[in-house]
Amino acid sequence: MKPKLAILSLCLLVALPTAASAATRGFEVRDLAALDRVSAPALSPDGGTVVFAKRQVNAEVTKASTALYVRNLRTRDMAPPKRLTPEGWSVNSPAFSKDGKSVYFLSAKSGPQQLYSIPLAGGEPRRLTDFALDVDAYKLSLDGTQVALAFAVFPDCKGDLDCTKKKLDDAEAAKATGKVFDRMFIRHWDTWADGRLNRVFAAKLDGEGMIKAATLLSGDIDGDIPSKPFGDLSDFAWSADGRQVAMSVRQANREEPWGTNFDIWLVNADGSGARNLTAANKAWDAGPVFSADGKTLYYRAMARPGFEADRFALMAMDLASGQTKEIAPRWDASADGIALSADGSRIYTTAQELGRHPLFAVRLDNGEVEPVAGDGSISAFALAGDTLAFTRNSMKSGDQLFVARADGSMPRAITQSAGEMLPEVKFGDYEQFQFAGWNNDVVHGYVVKPWNYVAGRKYPVAFLIHGGPQGSFGDGWSYRWNPQTYAGQGYAVVMIDFHGSTGYGQKFTDAISQHWGDRPLEDLQKGWAAALKKYDFLDGDKACALGASYGGFMVNWIAGNWNQPWKCLVSHDGVFENHAMGYATEELWFSEWENGGTPYDNPDGYQKFNPANHVKDFRVPMLIIHGQQDFRIPVEQGIALFTALQRKGVESKFLYFPDENHWVLKPQNSILWHDTVNAWLKQHIGQ
């Protein structure tokens, strides 16, 4: 069953901001780096006030800080939100107190990151915790009397946080720097393992003094909560009465690097009685949420072990019997999270759909999926009574905060769009198109016009290939791969959501596994041909292909298998030697699933689509980009690719970042990245 939102009209040639008549230039990377970013909306219990985080950078675009802002929703005046936290503080993770009179947040203002509160009416923040370690995350109990606190600790220290601090200090003071490992992970994403696990503690919120001690909740579970490298406490839940907690954890054993078996554990709030609720499912279980009466646990579950891009189904477990059922089995979408409506009748969740990322409400009684907010991409949301707050972005704006009724009606903007912040900038209009791709399936793509588009002219093209590969280049905003930065340079942009992309049903997503180089390549070839036929402003003789991660792999594959249309290529953090990649990456489950086994059990699977086997056909100039701290696709992959091109005599450059991981995150490094890429494009296709 397709959700109702699927029948809504797609955004074709999206309208320009109202200030477009004043626009005199295109969007560029310095705009991207300097723009304010809003996130983390939180609603007061009565839904009358919204608090959110706003990140701003200094004038030199070298340092960012984040403050909390507040807006009274009971008034409809045009006054902008007011700053809540003081100048000079950088904070994150806002949450309201139970009575709505205070706002909690984390800050490292006093040294290690700690928990603070501040009156909603304004005033000085009050520090609530006093620990020698960073409080990495927190979650308040529903009655507001307890707080869960996440720390990275050494397991043999049990619940003694000072023990972990001493071990860290001793390691820092040691004269020798060598480390011995006896199992993986030895490193993950961009960090070398030091023996610590993320664990959750609980403390009371009923005293005047600072909290200096906490009870270990997850000590009987050998695993990270929050999970590494990107987990948070959305995988942790308090029961309504505060007597129990549920958490999703993957065992930190020798099998962790090649397994995706996260289980949900039920634990008493004093840390006792840990019980695995989902041991029967060897795949990923995540995001537990208790019903108001405590009888049902809602969560998300995958079905296939070892596959990180399987569909997340919405599940309900009767805690008395342990019986489970899927809530919306006919909904062919992967749910991102769970938030219960005020009356407990619906689950609110986001999911990718047809190149967008909407917000849905799923009825618990019959699994019917109802659209709530559908334009662009919803990145975060909060519910309180009949009030909904959400952040939404599109291909023309970063996240903008909106409030609406719980059904999505009567939305109003609380913060500005990118166009309102940059009235002198004209963004490129964009349109979604479709064509018959591999297996004659319908495949979707987007085309973006250059900012200075004039009918009848032709424009050089940036052909962007997304990563994942289970991902999407859809109607959303990116601070790394943003099509408007190319449109702002006078290029047209084409992006194809090839087989393997998310948001088009699980069968479509599954189609890429063990087929990295054939089915998606066919989609890209047919999509390129369809775009050239449909849009006469695309100059097919002046085009470059660019991609990162899987997109980088595809650029490397194109270099030896489809290099005819391209005047230049850009490969960022892409796999070049696939067999070596199978041994060098840290999350082995990914490489093993995508290649049909281990490199020693199925070597042919790693060689079938190995770009290194096609170097003899490399001829197109290529820019390679890689970060030293990228442990997902190690830097040696980029160096080997550059070596192959240089040795063969193909024009090539290598942009190396010693301090970046799989992504380029530092503002000045991002500017250098874009300046280098734009110069490469200009050299080979003009503008």
Instruction: State mean pLDDT over 344-373.
Output: 98
In angstroms and rounded to an integer, the radius of gyration of the C-alpha atoms of the chain is 25
pLDDT at 23: 84
Catalytic residue of the set 630, 652, 670, 674: 630
Query: Which of 235, 240, 150 has its CA nearest to residue 197?
Result: 150
- pTM here is 0.95
pLDDT confidence tier of residue 181, bands split at 50, 70 and 90: very high
Q: Residue 215: phi, psi to the nearest 5?
A: -95, 130
The reply to whether omega before 460 is within 30° of 0 (cis) is no
195 close to 181: Cβ distance less than 8 angstroms: no
> What span, in angstroms and rounded, lies between the C-alpha atoms of 231 and 250?
11
> What span, in angstroms and rounded, lies between the C-alpha atoms of 27 and 419?
10
Catalytic residue of the set 107, 472, 549, 571: 549
Which residue carries 């063990």 as its tokens?
514
Q: How many CB atoms lie within 10 A of CB 669?
A: 17
Residue 622 has pLDDT above 60, yes or no: yes
pLDDT confidence tier of residue 510, bands split at 50, 70 and 90: very high
Alpha carbon distances (Å) from 380 to 289, 465, 545: 17, 25, 32
Mean pLDDT of the chain: 95
Which residue carries 């109802």 as its tokens?
370
Residue 203, token pair as written in the block? 């403390």
Instruction: State mean pLDDT over 204-208.
Output: 84
Neighbouring-strand partners of residue 625 = 572, 655
> What span, in angstroms and rounded, lies between the C-alpha atoms of 144 and 263?
27
Neighbouring-strand partners of residue 43 = 50
Residue 615, token pair as written in the block? 């170097």
> What span, in angstroms and rounded, lies between the C-alpha atoms of 532 and 435?
12
Instruction: State mean pLDDT over 137-143.
Output: 97
**500-511 CB burial, b ≥16 within 10 A, e <16:** bbbbbbbebbbb
> What span, in angstroms and rounded, lies between the C-alpha atoms of 104 and 288?
22
Residues 6+ apart with CB under 8 A from 207: none
Q: What is the pLDDT of residues 376-404, one digit of tens each?
A: 999 999 999 999 999 999 999 999 999 99
Q: What is the pLDDT of residues 632-672, one digit of tens each?
A: 999 999 999 999 999 999 999 999 999 999 999 999 999 99
> What span, in angstroms and rounded, lies between the C-alpha atoms of 467 and 333?
19
pLDDT at 75: 84
Q: Which domains are assigned to the chain?
A: 341-425 (2.40.10), 430-685 (3.40.50.1820)
Residue 227 has pLDDT above 60, yes or no: yes
pLDDT confidence tier of residue 514, bands split at 50, 70 and 90: very high
Alpha carbon distances (Å) from 92 to 41, 114, 139: 11, 11, 13
Q: Is 235 a catalytic residue?
A: no
The beta strands (E) that lie in 490-567 are given as 492-497, 538-548
Catalytic residue of the set 662, 670, 674, 684: 662
Residue 303, token pair as written in the block? 């079905």
Instruction: State mean pLDDT over 409-432.
Output: 97
Q: What percent of the chain has pLDDT over 90?
A: 95
pLDDT at 21: 57
Element (H, E) at 588: helix 588-595
**199-208 CB burial, b ≥16 within 10 A, e <16:** bbbbbebeee
Residue 14 has pLDDT above 70, yes or no: no
> What span, in angstroms and rounded, lies between the C-alpha atoms of 575 and 517?
12
Q: Is 684 a catalytic residue?
A: no
Supply angle C-alpha 405, 406, 410, rounded to 5: 25
Please state which of the ranges 8-17, 457-466, 555-564 shows the lowest mean pLDDT: 8-17
Residue 6 has pLDDT above 80, yes or no: no
Q: Residue 6 has what DSSP assignment?
A: G
Q: Is 662 a catalytic residue?
A: yes
Residue 636, token pair as written in the block? 């040696």
First-last CA distance in the chain: 46
Residue 329, token pair as written in the block? 């089995």
